[in-house]
Homo-oligomer: A and B are copies of this chain.
Amino acid sequence: MAGTLYLEDLAPGARFTSAEHALDAAQIVDFAKRFDPQPFHLDAEAAKSTFFQGLAASGWHTAAITMRLLVESGLPLADGVIGSGGEIQWPRPTRPGDVLHVESEVVEVIPSRSRPERGMVVVKSETLNQHGEVCQRLTTKLVVSRRPAS
């Protein structure tokens, strides 16, 4: 893992920006076939007459891309990005041709009382397209390790 940050390196207000991911129709359809086989995620023509009025990525695909961006560049934690859960919103569809990146901010750092070697960190992550529009809002509680004694 590329990250170097431990619990004591994080404070509310710390911000991180990920690399970019370019999404295309083939990726959207591939994910949908595996996990969300509905017309508006599978077929551009069939999607026109649906709620989405055109091909849109599964929200869970947007979430999965967001996770990859966080793991590889967006949240450089030494022991990895381990979430226990969170809140997710998709205020607008993710579309073919979108170029996504993730902007994250630390909201809260909560040392564990029972587990001195780690704590919880609340992080808000927005997944934005190339127009700066928010396609996903995610607030997660992450398990983050303290720096091991050297």
Contacts and interface: CB of A to CB of B under 8 A. Distances in A.
A38 interface: yes
A51 B90 CA distance: 30
Copies of the chain in the assembly: 2
Q: How large is the interface on A (under 10, 10 to 19, 20 to 34, 35 or more residues)?
A: 35 or more
A114 interface: no
A64 B51 contact: no
Contacts of A71: 36-38
A58 interface: yes
Interface string A46-86: 00001100000011100111011001100000011111111
Chain A contact residues, majority secondary structure: mixed
Given A34-B64, A50-B80, A63-B63, 8 more contacts: A35-B64, A35-B68, A38-B71, A38-B80, A59-B85, A83-B90, A85-B88, A87-B87
Interface of A: 1, 31, 34-40, 50-51, 58-60, 63-65, 67-68, 71-72, 79-91, 137, 143
